[in-house]
Structure 1
Amino acid sequence: MKKIALLFCLAILLSCSSDDSSQPHDTTADVLLKKTITQSNGNSYETLFTYDGKKLLQARSVKENKKFNYSGNNISKISWYTNPDTDNTLSQTVEFEYLPDGKLKKFKQESDNPLTVEFTYVGQDTVNFVARAYRSSYDFVGYFTVRDNEISEYVYLNGGRPRPSVKYTYDSKNHPLKNVTGYNKLFLYHYFYNSAHFNGFTTNVGSSKNCISNSLIQDPSVIEVMNTYEYNENGFPKVINKDSNSAADYLFY
């Protein structure tokens, strides 16, 4: 009887072990962007990304170095240094504040064009904002419609002269920075840096997916930006062709 009981227990253990090994493993969860090569107008340069675990420490090219500070798992500050190989001049900083639930509450940019933006969350899919551009001495307000942690629409209400209201479309693949700690909490912030042509730190708009195009809400036939992608075997972009192929990023993980 003892032998039968031991054999029965062994069979259960083997069965459990077999069940555990059959569980799917997410092979993309640890993928981090290591390098990009940007080509534009016949010129090219590379940007190297360094990490502490999954926390992004810096994104450095010959043009500038972006350094990141964290508070827990939230990105609290980004600092931009121009000409890092020579004078390494601090050109701007952006500091972030978060709500207790982790959503972005506010960011404040200190630069030649100071900007403060505050967000108010209404329901599950609407985020109101007030942006203050100090140099231009005006505020402008509007709201975002959000789906799956991505901006689906931006609606401008009044104020100065920001971009017209736009609608965003995305692919179903993986954003290059989706696994970076704290990155997905800044998807609202990246709208302002792309719309105002400031130099952010991301490769393209998106939180976990990649933006394919921005089109005017009033006239969908007017497409402001269209990106095309080539993907690797894990569904991450390896080439991003931007602005009707006038520029491209080559990505390495």
Structure 2
Amino acid sequence: MKKLLCLLSAAAFVFTSCSKDDNNSSDPASSILVKKITDIDIDGSSSNRNYVYNGNKIVSITDEDSSVLKYTYTGDFITKIEEIDKNGNLAVTTDYTYTNGKLTNEIQKTPNGTYYYKTKYIHNADGTVSYDNFRGTVTTGDEQEYGATGKYTLKEGNLVKLEVSYYGDEKSYVYEYDNKNHPLKNVTGLGLLLEDETLVNNLVKKTSISGSGDKISTSITTYSYTYDANNYPTEKVESYQSGNFISTQTTQYVY
């Protein structure tokens, strides 16, 4: 399920997602939607996520433990996501606002929480997206910078570089992609949300770099895929390596 924003909230990319006209086009590939995703860990344990839609608009994602993400749209824009825990209680609400079709604010609240967490996005003239995190007091609305700041660089709709500054800790991430279809490519409005994975093509390599000078640390995650006849992945194998440590995870997709 979607992780609590804090804080890291990261990811920021933006590209134009499928419009209503696209979803009603004669191209049958535009209606391909993933219905189930299964994650399989290296020890063989697995968990499922089930996706429900209304047309090409996502309604909900239900996790293995019965926790749910519920989506609310205003037109073709996702304006609210509610996280419901396995007991049916509202755990987190995230509200989204847009300017000229681009996400500019993301606010996360917990029921009866003292604070809310906001990410402000600036879409720069050069196509990059800058972001800054804030913490606000619910009762007064007073806000202060809290958490990471950063900048995201995109190319052809894909996030290719992320630069993050977290209280003096500098990190960067470089992303490489194939030219196939992401499993969630056709979900209305989902690509406008600023997550840590773009929804155009599929990530094949992520290089993480931290530190500076002679104290630079690098780790690499690679991804390999099996595709169906429409160039949508049916399986992904993720391999993470840091030093001599290697971990793998397999993800399966059903449409």
Same fold judged by TM-score > 0.5?
Answer: yes
Query: Do the aligned partners of 2:37 and 2:254 also contact (CA within 8 Å) in 1?
Result: yes
- What percentage of aligned pairs have identical amino acids? 24
Q: Is the 8 A contact 1:55 1:181 kept in 2?
A: yes
The reply to whether residue 71 of structure 1 matches residue 74 of structure 2 is yes
- 2:209 and 2:127 mapped to 1: Cα distance? 17
CA distance in 1, matches of 2:51, 2:68: 10
Q: Which has the higher Rg, Structure 1 or Structure 2? A: 1
The residue type paired with residue 109 of structure 2 is E
Which structure features the higher share of helix residues? 1
Whether the 8 Å contact between 1:213 and 1:223 is mirrored in structure 2 is no
Equivalent position of 2:222 in the other structure: 226
**Which protein has greater RCO, CA pairs closer than 8 Å, 6+ apart?**
2
Q: 1:159 offset after TM fit, Å?
A: 3.0
Alignment of 1:1-253 (within 5 A): 26-40=27-41, 41-63=43-65, 64-83=67-86, 87-99=87-99, 101-111=100-110, 114-132=116-134, 138-157=146-165, 159=167, 161=169, 164-186=171-193, 189-191=194-196, 205-216=197-208, 222-244=218-240, 246-253=248-255
Q: Is the 8 A contact 1:109 1:116 kept in 2?
A: yes
TM-score when normalising by structure 2: 0.73
Alpha-carbon deviations, 1:160-190, whole Å to 9, x = none?
65x711111111110111100101111xx21
Counterpart contact for 1:97–1:104, Cα < 8 Å = yes
Say which is worse superposed, 113-122 or 145-154, in terms of deviation: 113-122
Cα offset, 1:120, TM superposition:
0.8
SS in 2 for 1:184: helix
| Residues matched between the structures, number | 210
Structure 2 unaligned runs (5+)? 1-25, 138-143, 241-246
SS in 2 for 1:32: coil
Q: Give the partner amino acid of 1:159.
A: Y
- Residues 24-52 of structure 1: CA deviation (Å, up to 9, x unaligned): x6341110111112222332232211111
RMSD: 2.8
Larger strand proportion, structure 1 or 2? Answer: 2
DSSP-derived class of the 1:234 partner: coil
The runs of at least 4 aligned residues of structure 1 exceeding 6 Å deviation read: 134-137, 218-221
Q: TM-score, normalised by structure 1?
A: 0.73
